[in-house]
Amino acid sequence: MQFGVDEAGKGPVLGSMFAAAVRAPRDALPDGIDDSKRLSASRREALANRLRGDDRVGIGLAEITPERIDAGNMNTLTVAAHVEAADAVVEAGDAGLCDAGDVDAGRFAARVEDGLGADATIDAAHGADASDSLVGAASVLAKSARERHVASLADRFGEVGSGYPSDPTTRSFLRRYVEEHGAFPPPTRRSWSTCETIRAATEQSGLGDF
């Protein structure tokens, strides 16, 4: 059987990264599967729900928390995410394709294959989420998991934005939180340079009060 793997949420300063693996006959995949970034949120969630509701589709999901990210290396953790997602569904003899999480696609494939518990073969390619339907399906599910995670953070903390450093809403939320609590909220990747910039700006603002 074939399978595809992709991750979502590698770059945000807030929240976890997720990886998904999809093991299924290609004819079980719904029409319209594509790189999740090319799909509207509503279309992406509708496809994710169809995938989750089809017994022919095996799904593995892995979450890499901010704590793991701050303590580790993103290249290694991206490999780990693909391995953990794939290990949940892959069987001996399967063949899989990953969206390459390394500039060297062959190296990334070898590292994922070496980490698998099952005796399966792995290839990797850049842009596989757009060119391969199984990887595209994994992209949709990983992005859906990431968006549900961000929604749970908004339920907990109020409006947090997308979690990406370039999002003004996210940066405003983090700055307000630090000003009010003296520390970043628990789901923050504190090792990101964004946090250093925000803390410096907050401290400078505080000096202006004197």
Closest CA to 4 of 100, 117, 119, 75: 100
Residue 7 assigned ligand-binding role? yes
Angle at 46 between CA 98 and CA 39, to 5 degrees: 60
Is 114 assigned a ligand-binding role in the annotation?
A: no
Grouping H, G, I as helix, E, B as strand and the rest as coil, residue 8 is strand
Helix intervals (H) in the chain: 41-52, 66-71, 74-87, 105-115, 128-131, 133-157, 168-181, 193-207
Q: Give the Cα separation of 201 and 154 in Å (integer).
A: 24
d(CA 57, CA 4): 11
d(CA 188, CA 65): 9
Please indicate if the annotation marks 203 as binding a ligand: no
Cβ–Cβ under 8 Å, residues 189 and 198 = no
Write out the binding residues: 6-7, 99
Residue numbers in the known binding site for a divalent metal cation are 6-7, 99
